[in-house]
Amino acid sequence: MIGWLGGAYLWVKAFHVIFVIFWMAGLFILPRYLVHHTATVPGSPEDAEWIKREMLLRRMILNPASILTWALGLCLAGSLGFDYPWLWAKFGFVVLLTGYDHWAVATSKKLARGLRPYAERRLRMLNEVPALLIIAIVIMVVVKPS
């Protein structure tokens, strides 16, 4: 039993990992959607399809998964205690990942309004940000460097 979660700790941890996987799936696919959406003509039928896909992805996967990941993660951290340097580093990377999520969602909304703020090449490069951040997060959680 760990902290105030007691016997529920492992259940909370399991659901935290599940929702992290869902969130990451959304963060891996949305940037790829943005690359393809950028190549469409604003107002075209294809543009409308990308707008619909992105909206559904945000509503059905990204938003719920990110909220539940944060909520469950904060429960775990509160139960474990905040006295660990690796945990603060993890939080820092998760904040960056959340910022990336917000940027990607904002970009999809700009594309829905007909704007094309980024070139395809730049979006392809930014595609890799979630992978780099999740590598750092997993290292913090598994290795727990001090």
Annotated binding site for heme: 16, 90
Q: Which residues are annotated as a binding site?
A: 16, 90
Place of tokens 């594309």: 111
